[in-house]
Structure 1
Amino acid sequence: MSSSSSSVGARMRRSVGRLRRRTTSKETWWLVFLVAVTVFFFVLVTTWPRFWPLTLLVLPMVAAHLVLGPRVLPWFVVFNLAALTALSVVVTTRLGEVTAGRVIAVAVIFAVGFIVLLTSFRRSRLGVAGTIGESMLVDLRDRIMSQGMLPALPPGWYAESALRSAGGTPFAGDFVVAARPGWGRRLELCVCDVSGKGEEAGTRALLLTGAFGGLITSLPPGEFLPAANEYLLRQHWIEGFATAIHISVDLESGDFELRSAGHPPALQLNAGSGRWTVHESEGPALGLIEEADYAPVRGRLNHGDAILLYTDGMVEVRGRDIQLGIDKMLGQADRLLQQGFENGARRLIDTVGTRNDDRALLLVHRR
C-alpha cells in the first residue's frame, strides 16, 4: 500500500511539475485566482444551496477561456466540471430532492465546458490564450498593413488609397503596397487583388503584403511583377493566384510605367481635355504561368492630371459587362472629383462598386 501510494504521489508531482513548466508566471497567477474563485463558489453554493445557483461555476470557465492558454485550460475545465459533479451531489443530498431546473443547469454547464474544451483544442496549434492570440493577430495585421501606407510626397503631388472589405472587417483580399525607392525620386505603387474575398483571402493578403513590400523596394520596376509571380508559384496554393497593377512614377518629370497582371485597366484624367484615358496593359495573373512577361505602358502625368488604380470590386457586378462598370465609375469620378481631389478616393469608393466584394482604390494626382 505504501509503495503504491508513493508511486501515485510521485506521478502527481511530476504532472504538476510539467504543468508548472508549461505555464507563464502571469498565467499561473490567473490559474490560482480562478481556482480560488471556483472553490469560493463551491463553498457558497454548498452553504446556501437555495439562494445560489449551480450556474455560478460557468463564470470561472468563461474567464479561463479568455486568459488561460490551451495547455492549461483543459485541466482547469476538467477541475471545474469535477467540482460541479461533487457540488450537485452535495446540494441534492442537503435539499433531499432533484429538480428539473437543477438537472438542466448541470447539463448547460457541462455543455459550456465541452465547448470551451473544443475551442482550446483548436487553439493548441497557436499555443496562446484567446485574448493574446487576437492581439498578436491584430499587431501582425497592423505591422504588415503599414507597408501599404502611402509615403510622404513632395509638393505638387497628392496620393490617397481607400479599402473596403466585403465583410466589413479590416481583413480583405485587396491591398495596396507603396514605397519611394531611388532616393525618393520614384513612387512605386501596387494594387493587388487576391483570389477570394473578406476573411477567406485576408490571411493570404497579409502574407503577400509583406512579401510585395520587400520586393517593390528592392527591385527595378520591370522586375517587380515577374518576381511577385515567382513568389506566388512557390507557395503552391490551391487558389494561389492574384491580380495586380503596378505603377512607377518619376516624381520629377511625371513620367510613369504601368504594368498589369490580369487586372482591370488604369484610368488617367487628362486635365487639359477633361477626358479619361484607359491604359490597357496585358499580362497573366500572378501565380499561374512561369516566366510570365508583363509589357509596360508608358505615359506622363502633367500638372492637373490624375490616375486611378482599382480592383474589380469597383467595376464588376455579376451579369454586367465590366466596361459598363468602368463607364459608371468614370461618370461618378467626373462628378465627385470636381469638388477637388482631397479625399476623392474615399468619396469614390463609398459611391461605386458592389458591397459583396472587396474594393480597393488608389488615386494619384499631380497638382
Structure 2
Amino acid sequence: MTSHGTPGPGPAGGTGRPSQNGAADGPASGALTWTLAESALRAVEQVGGYAGGVYLRSGTPGLLRLAVLVGLPGPLFRPWWRMHTNRPFPIAEVHRSGQSVHLPDVEEAMRRFPQLVASLPFPFASLYAPVVAGRERFGVLVALRPPTPGVPVDGRDRTLMTQGALRLGTALADLSRQGTTVEWPGDPVCVQQSTAGAPPVRFGSFDWDLDSGMVTMDAGLLGILGAEVPSPCPIDVLTALLEPEDGYALWAAARQATGPDGRPVVRRIRLKGPDGGLHLLEVSTRARKSPSEAPSGNHAWGTHTGLRLTCTLVDLGTGLIGSDATDRLPRAILAIDRLGRVTYVNERTERLLGRPRGALAGRPLWEALPWFSLPFHEEQLRAALISGEPARFLARPEQGRWLTVSLHPGRDGLTMVLVPEDEPVQLPQSSGAAGRKDDSLSLADDRVSALYRPVALAIALSEAVTARQVSAVVTEELLPAFGGRQLAIYLLSDRRLYLAWETGFPPGFLEPFDGVALDEHVPGVETLTTGRPLFFESMEQLSRTYPGLPLDAHSGARAFLPLIASGRPVGSCILGFDRPRGFSPEERAVLTALAGLIAQALERAQRYDTESAVARGLQDALLPHRLPVWEGVDTVGRYLPGTQGMDVGGDWYDVVETGHGRLALVIGDVQGHGVAAAATMGQLRSAVRAFALAGHRPQDVMRGTNRLLIDLDPGQFASCCYVLLDPKTGELRGVRAGHPQPLLLQPDGTTEVVDLAGGMVLGIDDRASYPVTRFRLAPGAVLALFTDGLVEQPGRDIDEGIEQLRRALAATGSLPLAEAADRMTREARQATSRPDDIALLLAARWPKHR
C-alpha cells in the first residue's frame, strides 16, 4: 500500500540540483542526507566500528531502503540495498519490534539469524537500533565492527547506539514537521570514514629574498618544521633541515625559476621532522621582482638581482597516496579506499595491466578493472572489507593470463598485490592431492560456483512459503550444489516422522520409514533425536553402522541432517549420492548450517498453513457476501488475494445503507498481510459501518476511524476512501485518507481521475483532518474505487498504472457492471506474481427509464 495523501517537499523538489542519491536535490533532501550521514558516522565511530549506515522507510509499505552506507563501497553491497520488513534479518526484526539487536560474533548471528550468515559468511559483529520518534518508525541505525567471540556487546556501546538512534529519530521528526518527506526512494549515499593513521595534508610557504639570502616562513611551514626556527632567518637554517641532496635540489629549483623563461618549478624534497623521520614535501617555486631595493654586496647569485622566490610546500603525509616507495618493489601493487576507489597504482601494476595510472586512479575498482565485478571476486572483496582478514585467490582478467591476487585490508582501505601465474593453481582432489602451490589460495571456477549455491539456497528459502515450496527449493538448489541425486524430507508429528517430500529414490523404497517412531534405531530418527548430522561415505559404511537396514541399489554416500529450528525439532533431511564420496569439514559445516535454514523455513511454512487457513476464514467472514440493492444504483465489488507470501491481506470494500436515503461507498487498505492485517481490517470495516449508520458526515467518519485505529495501536496504518452518494440527485461527498484517487466514467465515454482532496493515512496522527470534496455521479456514469495493488507493479510508476486502469475503465463502455469489473481485473487475475492484494468497487447510477 502506498500513501497518496497530501505530499510535502521531498527529494524530487527544490532546485533540481543532482544529489548523491541520484535524485534531484533541494534543501529538504539535502538536509535529510546530511542528517543521516552525520548520525551514521557518529554511531560507527562511537562504538569502534569500521562500517555502518541507516535504513530508512521508502515510499513502498513494508520496504526499507539503505539510505546511507558508511565505510563500504555501495555497488559491492547492492543486494542489501532493499530490506523487506517481513524478512528474517536483524534489520527487519528491529524495525518490526522496535527493539535493538546486538550480535557480537558469527556464532550468535548464526543462532539468531542464519540467513544473515548465509548471505554474509564472514566474521564480524553488528549492532542495530530502531530509529523512532514516539510511535513513528523511520528505520534502523546499523554499525559493523570486529567480532568479540563469546563476549557480549557491552552496555556502553548498547547505550551509545540507542542514544544515537533516538537523536536521529528526533531530528527526522523535526524535518518531517518542517515539510521534508522522510523517505528514501533511491540508491544509497556512500560516506567515507575519517582516515585513522595517516596525518593530514599540511600546507606552508616561505618567501626567499635571493639578494639577502633571508627566508620568511609562515605559520604553516613553522608547524611542519616543528622546531624553534626564527623567521626571518638565513636560507642555510632551512636547508640544514634537509638532506644534502635535497638542499641542492632546492637551490637548483631556485636557479631554474629565475632563469630566462621564469616558469614555476615543482620538486619533491625530504624534510627532517621533529620525530627524526623524513617527511615527503612537494615544493613549488615562483620568482618575482622584489618591491624594494635589496642591499648591495655579496649575495646568493653573486650580483644584485632584486628577485624573490615564493615557495609553497605541501606535506603529503604518510598515507597510500603519493608514496613512490612501492615503485621499487618487484610486485604489482594497487590500493583502494574503503569506498572501493583506486588510490594508488605503482609502475609495475601499470605494466602488468597495460593501463596507465591516470586510467585507474580515482575510479571504482570494478570500473577500473571490470573483472572485479564477477561474483566470486566481489565476494572476496566483501570478505576482506568486512572481516578485516587477508584473502588470496586466482583471477583471469579479461581472458588474459592468470593472476594470484592478495588482499590486505586495513581500517582506511585495502592494498592489493597482483602476481602473474604461468599455471593456475589447481584444486586438490583429496586432502593429500598434489598440484596445489599454496594452501591459502582460493579456488577454481567449479568449486566457486558450488560455494555460491548454498547462498542461493538461503535466499530462495526466505521466499518459500509452503512446505512444498521449501522442499522444491532444496531439490533445485541444495542437490546440485553438492552433486546429490536423492532427497527425502521427513516432518515430525505426534512423535513420529512422516515423509513429506522425496525425489530420486526407487519407487516404494521409503514407504517402510514413513511414520517411524522416535524410538526406532534408524539414522533419520537418530540424527533428529541427537541433533548431530550423520555422514556415510558409502553404503557399506552405512550398513556396518546400521545392520539390517534396507538399502537401495545405489552404492553411494548418504548424509542425514537434523532439522531443528530455535531448539525445536522439525524433522530430518536425507541426501543421497550415486557414488561413494567423502565430506570435507567445510562441506559438513555448510550442510549443517543449511539444515538449520531448511528447518526454519519448514517451521515457518507449517505456521503459514495454520495462519493462512485462519486468515482466509476471517477475511471471508469480514468481506461482504452481497451488496445492497438500491433503485437506480448498481454496485459490484471484486477482491483478489496476493500470490506472494500470505494469500490474504487488509484490503476491503463495503457499501453501507446509512438510513438517511444515502449509500456509503467504502474502500480501504490495511498495511501488511496475514491474520493481523485481516483482523485490523475487520475492526476498521466495523468502525466505518457504525459511524456511517449513525449518520455522521464523511469527514467525521474518517476522523473517528482514525482515532479508533490509533487507540487500538496495532502497529499498522491504513488508507481509506469514503464516498457518500445521494441516489436521487447523484450528489457525491468524498474524503480520502492517503488512498488513490477514484476514477469516473462519464456517460459520454470520457474518463477522468477525480480530484478528491486527501488527508493523512489512518493510524498516524490523531489531529489529522479530512477535507470533503463534492462532485456528481450523472445518470449512466460509473465511479471506480480501487486499492493500489491494482495499479502498482514493481519497476513501474504508479501514475502509469492509474492511466492504464483509466483506459481499461473507458473500454468497458456500456458493459454490465459485473462484466466491467471482470474486465478491469482480468490482467491482474492472469498475473503469476501479485505482491499485493486487490480490491475494486464500482458504482453506477442509471437513468430512470432503464
* TM-score normalised by L of structure 1: 0.62
| Superposed counterparts of 1:252-331, under 5 Å | 252-272=728-748, 274-318=750-794, 320-331=796-807
| Letter of the 1:233 counterpart | I
Higher helix share: 1
Give the structure 2 partner of residue 362 of structure 1.
841
Contact 2:615 2:678 in 1 (8 A): no
The question of 1:142 aligning with 2:620 is answered yes
Using the alignment, how far apart are the partners of 1:138 and 1:357 within structure 2? 15
Moved more, 305-314 or 169-178: 169-178
| Superposed counterparts of 1:15-30, under 5 Å | none
| Superposed counterparts of 1:101-250, under 5 Å | 102=549, 114-115=569-570, 136-145=614-623, 148-167=624-643, 170-182=647-659, 185-196=661-672, 201-219=673-691, 220=696, 221-238=698-715, 240-250=716-726
Give the structure 1 partner of residue 142 of structure 2.
none
| Letter of the 1:301 counterpart | L
Shift of 1:321: 4.1
| Letter of the 1:151 counterpart | L
Shift of 1:226: 1.2
Shift of 1:154: 2.0
Contact 1:175 1:209 in 2 (8 A): yes
Contact 1:163 1:359 in 2 (8 A): yes
Question: Higher relative contact order by CA 8 Å / sep ≥ 6: 1 or 2?
Answer: 1
Distance 1:107 1:352, change over 3 A: closer
SS in 2 for 1:82: coil
Give the structure 2 partner of residue 82 of structure 1.
519
Shift of 1:131: 8.8
Shift of 1:209: 2.7
Higher strand share: 2
Match of 2:515 among 59, 64, 80: 59
Contact 1:263 1:285 in 2 (8 A): yes
Q: Which of 1 and 2 has greater Rg?
A: 2
Contact 1:178 1:213 in 2 (8 A): no
Contact 2:734 2:756 in 1 (8 A): no
Using the alignment, how far apart are the partners of 1:245 and 1:346 within structure 2? 21
User: Could you give the per-residue CA deviations for residues 71-95 of structure 1, whole angstroms, max 9, x where no partner exists?
Assistant: xxxxxxxxx312557xx99xxxxxx
Distance 1:81 1:204, change over 3 A: closer
| Letter of the 2:838 counterpart | R
Using the alignment, how far apart are the partners of 1:291 and 1:351 within structure 2? 39
Using the alignment, how far apart are the partners of 1:314 and 1:131 within structure 2? 26
Shift of 1:261: 0.4
Shift of 1:249: 1.6
Distance 1:170 1:177, change over 3 A: farther
Shift of 1:144: 2.1
Contact 2:785 2:841 in 1 (8 A): yes
Contact 1:149 1:178 in 2 (8 A): no
Shift of 1:246: 1.0
User: Could you give the per-residue CA deviations for residues 155-210 of structure 1, whole angstroms, max 9, x where no partner exists?
Assistant: 32211112223316650232223322316x322222112224xxxx2323312332
Shift of 1:286: 0.8
| Letter of the 2:515 counterpart | L
User: Could you give the per-residue CA deviations for residues 65-121 of structure 1, whole angstroms, max 9, x where no partner exists?
Assistant: xxxxxxxxxxxxxxx312557xx99xxxxxx965478399999697699316989xx
Using the alignment, how far apart are the partners of 1:181 and 1:270 within structure 2? 26
Contact 1:175 1:205 in 2 (8 A): no
RMSD of the TM alignment (CA)?
Answer: 4.2
**Structure 1 unaligned spans of 5+:** 1-33, 39-51, 61-79, 90-95
* TM-score normalised by L of structure 2: 0.29
| Letter of the 1:161 counterpart | G
Distance 1:100 1:333, change over 3 A: farther
| Letter of the 2:741 counterpart | P
SS in 1 for 2:789: helix
Distance 1:247 1:205, change over 3 A: farther
User: Could you give the per-residue CA deviations for residues 264-310 of structure 1, whole angstroms, max 9, x where no partner exists?
Assistant: 11112221473435232211111111121111112222210110111
| Letter of the 2:711 counterpart | R
Using the alignment, how far apart are the partners of 2:546 and 2:727 within structure 1? 79
Give the structure 2 partner of residue 12 of structure 1.
none
| Letter of the 2:518 counterpart | L
Using the alignment, how far apart are the partners of 1:278 and 1:110 within structure 2? 59
Moved more, 162-171 or 253-262: 162-171
Contact 1:194 1:243 in 2 (8 A): yes
Using the alignment, how far apart are the partners of 1:153 and 1:170 within structure 2? 30
Contact 1:329 1:352 in 2 (8 A): no
Contact 1:150 1:178 in 2 (8 A): no
Using the alignment, how far apart are the partners of 1:328 and 1:310 within structure 2? 13
Using the alignment, how far apart are the partners of 2:513 and 2:613 within structure 1? 27
SS in 1 for 2:649: coil
Using the alignment, how far apart are the partners of 1:55 and 1:107 within structure 2? 19
Using the alignment, how far apart are the partners of 1:216 and 1:292 within structure 2? 17
Distance 1:356 1:140, change over 3 A: closer
Distance 1:314 1:97, change over 3 A: closer
User: Could you give the per-residue CA deviations for residues 296-329 of structure 1, whole angstroms, max 9, x where no partner exists?
Assistant: 1122222101101112223334554433332222
Using the alignment, how far apart are the partners of 1:298 and 1:253 within structure 2? 12
Using the alignment, how far apart are the partners of 1:101 and 1:165 within structure 2? 51
Distance 1:172 1:57, change over 3 A: same
Distance 1:341 1:228, change over 3 A: same
**Structure 2 unaligned spans of 5+:** 1-493, 498-507, 527-542, 553-557, 573-598
Contact 1:262 1:282 in 2 (8 A): yes
